[in-house]
């Protein structure tokens, strides 16, 4: 592979002195300020980074970033604790956000309901039975204002897990901030905006792949010019892994999609270093702790090489892989649900040892329903205990140099690259998706895994081994069926009270932009500020781009 990293820096006194100088620059700039707990029984000094004399490797904060994207990592600031949340109504979710922030959460992560994810208003027949079930319904600027009421959007970063309708939700967020008096240039956060994995693993697409890619690039362009602190995409391996992909496939398919996005942006006339620093990623943390740590290390190295050698990036920030992690929902069991606390803790530890930038820890009751306030607090406390009491955040890349971890890092990289080259041979990610390649590969992996569980060859504690009767969890969170009616009533009032002439005119301008090469984000922003609904805006896109229908790929 012409762009596989083979760089190794032989350890010498001079090289380590150079790295220590870089570390001191961060410390003197106030970026290595986190207090490290004293170890009164230890007869040694805890250094910020360890490297045995016989090991050759690269250094944290240096290309290819295997050991971390910053020289100080958590010695400067721990990862963002960002619990994913949203349910029932915007007002209910706003109360949950305020509670989590009061409990010490350091960032917000919005879960949207399925109608919002695929571009339907709550009063649509397509939305029946799904309003507020797996996330919060957002139909208009009115809902978005309620969602963030009392939360200053210039003081908190927000991640929005939204894809097919990502550009619309971004505009709703910008408009809500404007109502707070916050200019868009001061906003920070992340838009998932990763439509390709929807065709592979998740299914919440709305339009065909190629026009959907155009909307992704529109967001890249708009944010590069107007919202410099906004991460324009979170390229996601998480959902593919949850669908049954292996760790190798998670890496390979994520980076193949990423290559497709970068190439589309370059083809649209964007310079790679103008948008690549704001690309981010989203990976799962699964049960195999050391494999997961090696996966994150391999991911950083692979991305650095892809950006430098394949796309000619010059800005080091374009080569730095920054990623969010969520523990694996697919591993949580309805049987013996207390076991899920241990599973999620092991997975969280893997993400932290692997150098994640932000983390969500799933709650013990998520195999049964939405997390209660109590279980959400326990998930947050899991992160806080690991951060403040375990000591694993005190040293950069603490598993670096382990023969097993280093070898596993190399193997994961090599096998993932073989998949990437096969997808390149098929014409790239979009062409491979249209041929059903990734779906078939993941399906075969998922089938093998389930066969092993069914045969008892793969142990799932409490399910196929160490089975016992346990009392069910009480007080599960249930969404009131009245939520859908209440949301529809609010929509009816909105449509009656707004200036419908302005609505019609702004939707017409959006249609014109969609039919030409104009960037659709400015006209979408105009629409949401005139209180056009999500469903009305997405219907314009459906009329212009067509609608993607699901097809079996097996």
160 sits in which H/E element: strand 158-161
Residue 171: predicted pLDDT? 99
* 396/523 Cα distance (integer angstroms): 45
- Whether 419 is in a domain gets the answer yes
Longest dimension (CA), the chain: 76
Residue 38 counted as domain residue = no
Q: Is 110 helix (H, G, I), strand (E, B) or coil?
A: strand
Classify residue 110 as exposed, middle or buried by CB count within 10 Å of its CB (0-12, 13-18, 19+).
buried
CATH number at residue 384: 3.20.20.240
Confidence at residue 7, expressed as pLDDT on a 0 to 100 scale: 40
Compute CA distances 8 → 15, 320, 331, 459, whole Å: 12, 17, 36, 38
DSSP 171-208: HHHHHHHHHTT--GGG--EEE----HHIIIII----S-
Residue 272 falls within a domain, yes or no?
yes
- Token pair, residue 518, equals 């104009």
In a domain, residue 499? The reply is no
Strands 189-191 and 230-231: parallel
CB 160 within 8 A of CB 190: yes
pLDDT of 43 reads: 43
For residue 121, being part of any structural domain is answered with no
pLDDT tens digit at each of 554 positions of the chain: 445 544 443 445 666 677 677 777 776 776 655 545 444 344 445 566 655 554 555 899 999 999 999 999 999 899 999 999 999 999 999 999 999 999 999 999 999 999 999 999 999 999 999 999 999 999 999 999 999 999 999 999 999 999 999 999 999 999 999 999 999 999 999 999 999 999 999 999 999 999 999 999 999 999 999 999 999 999 999 999 999 999 999 999 999 999 999 999 999 999 999 999 999 999 999 999 999 999 999 999 999 999 999 999 999 999 999 999 999 999 999 999 999 999 999 999 999 999 999 999 999 999 998 899 999 999 999 999 999 999 999 999 999 989 899 999 999 999 999 999 999 999 999 999 999 999 999 999 999 999 999 999 999 999 999 999 877 777 787 888 888 999 999 999 999 999 999 999 999 999 999 999 999 999 999 999 999 999 999 999 999 999 998 754 43
Q: What is the 3-state secondary structure (H, E, C) of 372-411?
A: CHHHHHHHHHHHHHHHHHCCHHHCECCCCCCHHHHHHHHH
pTM score of the predicted model = 0.89
**Of 8, 60, 15, 52, the residue nearest 410 (C-alpha):** 8
Residue 373 resides in a domain: yes
Contact yes or no for 114/133 (Cβ under 8 A): yes
Position 220 in a domain: yes
Domain around 300: 73-77+192-454
Report yes or no on 248 lying in a domain.
yes
Cis omega (within 30 of 0) on the bond before 64? yes
Task: Report the 10 Å Cβ neighbour count for 36.
Answer: 14
Question: How many domains in the chain?
Answer: 1
**d(C-alpha 368, C-alpha 35), whole Å:** 39
299's CB contacts (< 8 A; 6+ apart) are 251, 254, 255, 281, 283, 321, 323
- Rounded Cα distance between 102 and 28, Å, is 31
Can you read off the two tokens belonging to residue 235? 């390229």
């Amino acid at each position: 592979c012409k762009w596989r990293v083979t760089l190794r820096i032989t350890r010498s006194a001079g090289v380590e002195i150079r790295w220590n100088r870089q570390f001191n620059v961060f410390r003197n700039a106030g970026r290595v300020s986190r207090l490290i707990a004293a170890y009164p029984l230890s007869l040694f000094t805890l250094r910020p980074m360890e490297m045995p004399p016989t090991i050759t490797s690269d250094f944290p904060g240096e290309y290819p970033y295997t050991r971390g994207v910053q020289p100080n990592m958590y010695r400067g600031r721990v990862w963002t604790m960002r619990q994913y949340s949203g349910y029932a109504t915007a007002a209910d979710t706003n109360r949950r956000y305020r509670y989590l922030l009061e409990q010490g959460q350091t960032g917000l992560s919005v879960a949207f309901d399925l109608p919002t994810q695929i571009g339907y208003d709550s009063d649509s027949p397509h939305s029946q039975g799904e309003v507020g079930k797996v996330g919060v319904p957002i139909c208009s600027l009115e809902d978005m204002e309620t969602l963030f009421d009392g939360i200053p959007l210039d003081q908190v970063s927000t991640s929005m897990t939204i894809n097919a309708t990502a550009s619309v939700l971004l505009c709703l967020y910008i408009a809500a901030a404007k109502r707070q008096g916050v200019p868009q240039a001061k906003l920070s956060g992340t838009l998932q905006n990763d439509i390709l994995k929807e065709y592979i693993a998740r299914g919440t697409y709305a339009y065909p792949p190629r026009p959907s890619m155009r909307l992704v690039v529109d967001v890249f362009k708009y944010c590069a010019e107007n919202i410099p602190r906004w991460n324009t995409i979170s390229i996601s391996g998480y959902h593919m892994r949850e669908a049954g992909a292996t760790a190798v496939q998670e890496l390979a398919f994520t980076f193949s999609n990423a290559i497709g996005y970068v190439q589309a942006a370059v083809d649209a006339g964007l310079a790679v270093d103008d948008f690549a620093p704001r690309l981010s990623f989203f990976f799962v943390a699964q049960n195999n702790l050391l494999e997961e740590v090696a996966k994150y290390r391999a991911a950083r190295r692979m991305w650095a090489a892809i950006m430098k050698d394949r796309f000619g990036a010059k800005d080091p920030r374009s080569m730095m892989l920054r990623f969010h992690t969520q523990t694996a929902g697919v591993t949580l069991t309805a049987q013996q649900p207390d076991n899920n606390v241990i599973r999620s803790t092991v997975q969280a530890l893997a993400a932290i040892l692997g150098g994640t930038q932000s983390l969500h820890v799933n709650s013990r009751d998520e195999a049964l329903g939405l997390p209660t306030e109590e279980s959400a607090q326990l998930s947050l406390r899991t992160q806080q205990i690991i951060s403040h009491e375990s000591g694993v955040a005190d040293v950069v890349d603490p598993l670096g140099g382990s023969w097993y971890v280093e070898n596993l890092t190399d193997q994961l990289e090599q096998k993932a690259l073989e998949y990437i080259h096969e997808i390149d041979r098929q014409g790239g990610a979009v062409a491979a998706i249209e041929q059903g390649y990734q779906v078939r590969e993941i399906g075969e992996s998922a089938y093998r895994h389930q066969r092993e569980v069914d045969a008892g060859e793969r142990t799932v504690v409490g399910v196929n081994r160490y089975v016992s009767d346990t009392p069910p969890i009480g007080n599960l969170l249930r969404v009131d069926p009245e939520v859908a009616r209440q949301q529809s009533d609010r929509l009816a009032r909105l449509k009656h009270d707004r200036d419908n002439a302005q609505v019609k005119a702004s939707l017409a301008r959006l249609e014109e932009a969609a039919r030409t090469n104009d960037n659709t984000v400015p006209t979408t922003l105009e629409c949401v500020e005139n209180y056009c609904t999500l469903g009305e805006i997405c219907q314009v896109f459906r009329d212009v781009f067509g609608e993607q229908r699901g097809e079996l790929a097996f």
